[in-house]
Every structure is written in C-alpha cells, then in structure tokens.
C-alpha cells in the first residue's frame, strides 16, 4: 500500500526537518511529511500545489495550476516510515493538503514509527478512524472561515468539529484576514463549546510584511477574548517555500 505525497521538487517527496512554524508547538524542532490532495479549496492556500492540478478550476488568488506528475509522488508506507526514521527528531507533523483523506495508510505507516510524538494538521472536516486516532498525540485543527471561499456545508462539519472540540488533544487555529473575521470565530466557539485556551488566531499572509501588519491588531483581539496568538515562523525564516 502507498501514500500520495507532495514533492519538494519533481520526484522528491516532501519529508523534511524544520521548526514547527504555527500553533501550540511553534518553535519546536519537528519532522514533517506533507501529503497531497485536499477536499477543500481555500483561495489563499499557500500549498495549492497539493491539490490545484491542471484542469482544476476551483478559485485561487494566484490562478496557478500545477502538473500532477511533478507535484505528486506515491511512496510505499514502509518507505515513508524509513525516510522519517532516518531523520533526527522525535516529533512528527503530518500535514497537507488534508492528511486525513489518507488516514488508513497513515495508520499503517505509523506502526513502524512507535516512538514519535505525532501531530496531525487537519481542516476538521474528516473524523480520524480509531486505528489512526489511537496513535495521535495532538490535532492542529484549522476550520475554514467564509473568507476561504469554501461553502459552509463543506467546510464546517458539525459532528466532526464537536468531536474535536471535546478532545483535549485538539487545538484550533483560525486564519484571520480582517478584524470582522472574529465574529465567525466567536460564533463557532460558542456553537461547539471550544475552550478559549485551545484557540489560536493566525494572520493570513505569505510574506513577513503582511504578517507583521496583521499581527498588530490580531494580538489585540486575542487579548480581548483570551485567545492565543500564533505567528508563521517559517515564513519569517524561509519565505513562502516548500520543505520549510
């Protein structure tokens, strides 16, 4: 069985080490594996190469499409586990795309990696099956607000978000473009009874200047509502690049 991964360059799977740039583990040295494919299409997505392949006409600000052959690669689960095990570190971040689309294969891959702290980054639309859920230490859940361009019935699955909200392993990260976005977040917090202590607000942006400008007023919103703030450390360090 195999996983479908994104690539750093044609033929090279996006498995790498870096500091976690976002959320509750920001600044922690981590191993990353980026899977390909997503069930949503955010107009500001900075990893559109994982889903917006040639022929996909779902909206995106850049209007760029990517060749599937150069941007996807199949890797046997055992091979993926071996490449991860060869890297230094004990924290694995599984990201995408939407990694839970490949949950059964991920569960099998993790059987060969029993000693890692496992984080899964997800848009919160898919419930993890028991085989995977039992080996995950942390969920970084990022529900998509209306500015993402996704239809609410696709982006906000009540049963799934309720399950994550009740799970102490799940942290919620909301991408912010403008102050009015806060109204949606407050509604979602109340609707799903998400503790404020597990909510992070993060500026949308793919360059340091944009992130700094938005961070100024987002930190004020965090203070007002007792939310956490998260920057995008990897953008400041490396820019908007793959494998970072």
- Domain-located, residue 211: no
Under 8 Å between Cβ of 230 and 26: yes
Percent of the chain with pLDDT over 90: 100
By C-alpha distance, which of 221, 169, 227, 230 is closest to 27? Answer: 230
By C-alpha distance, which of 35, 160, 49, 18 is closest to 109? Answer: 35
Averaged over 204-225, what is the pLDDT?
A: 98
Question: First-to-last CA distance in the chain?
Answer: 27
Percent of the chain with pLDDT over 70: 100
- Domain-located, residue 228: no
- Domain-located, residue 214: no
pLDDT score of 31 more than 90: yes
Averaged over 9-32, what is the pLDDT?
A: 98
User: How far from chain centre, in Å, is Cα 168?
Assistant: 18
By C-alpha distance, which of 20, 21, 23 is closest to 173? Answer: 23
Helix/strand/coil percentages in the chain, nearest 5: 35, 25, 40
Structural domain harbouring 124: 2-175
Phi first, then psi, for residue 165 (nearest 5°) are: -60, -30
pLDDT in tens, 120-143: 999 999 999 999 999 999 999 999
Q: What is the pLDDT of residue 1?
A: 83
pLDDT in tens, 65-112: 999 999 999 999 999 999 999 999 999 999 999 999 999 999 999 999
- Domain-located, residue 144: yes
pLDDT in tens, 173-185: 999 999 999 999 9
Distance CA 244, CA 19 (A): 8
Residue partners of 207: CB distance under 8 A and separation at least 6 = 235, 239, 240
- Domain count of the fold of the chain: 1
- Angle at 103 (CA atoms; ends 199, 155), nearest 5 degrees: 45
- Domain-located, residue 134: yes
Averaged pLDDT score across all residues of the chain: 98
Q: CATH number, domain at 93?
A: 3.20.20.70
- Domain-located, residue 50: yes
By C-alpha distance, which of 196, 203, 204 is closest to 228? Answer: 196
- Domain-located, residue 43: yes
Q: Is the peptide bond before 97 cis (omega within 30 degrees of 0)?
A: yes
- Domain-located, residue 82: yes
Q: Roughly what angle, to the nearest 10 degrees, separates helices 77-85 and 103-110?
A: 50
């Amino acid at each position: 069985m195999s996983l479908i991964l994104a690539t750093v360059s044609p033929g090279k799977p996006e498995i790498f080490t870096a500091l976690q740039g976002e959320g509750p583990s920001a600044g922690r040295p981590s191993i990353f594996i980026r899977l390909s494919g997503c069930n949503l299409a955010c107009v500001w997505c900075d990893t559109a190469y994982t889903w917006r392949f040639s022929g996909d006409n779902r909206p995106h600000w850049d209007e760029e499409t990517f060749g599937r052959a150069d941007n996807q690669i199949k890797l046997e689960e055992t091979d993926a586990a071996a490449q991860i095990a060869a890297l230094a570190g004990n924290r694995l971040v599984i990201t995408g795309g939407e990694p839970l689309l490949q949950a059964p294969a991920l569960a099998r891959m993790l059987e060969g990696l029993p000693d890692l702290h496992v984080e899964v980054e997800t848009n919160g639309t898919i419930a993890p099956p028991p085989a995977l859920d039992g080996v995950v230490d942390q969920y970084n859940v990022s529900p998509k607000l209306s500015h993402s361009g996704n239809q609410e019935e696709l982006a906000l699955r009540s049963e799934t978000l309720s399950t994550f909200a009740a799970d102490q392993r799940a942290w919620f990260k909301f991408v912010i473009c403008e102050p009015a976005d806060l109204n949606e977040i407050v509604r979602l917090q109340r609707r799903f009874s998400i503790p404020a202590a597990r909510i992070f607000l993060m500026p949308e942006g793919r360059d340091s200047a944009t992130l700094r400008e938005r961070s100024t007023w987002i930190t004020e919103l965090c203070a007002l509502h007792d939310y956490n703030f998260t920057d995008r450390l990897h953008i400041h360090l490396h820019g908007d690049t793959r494998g970072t």
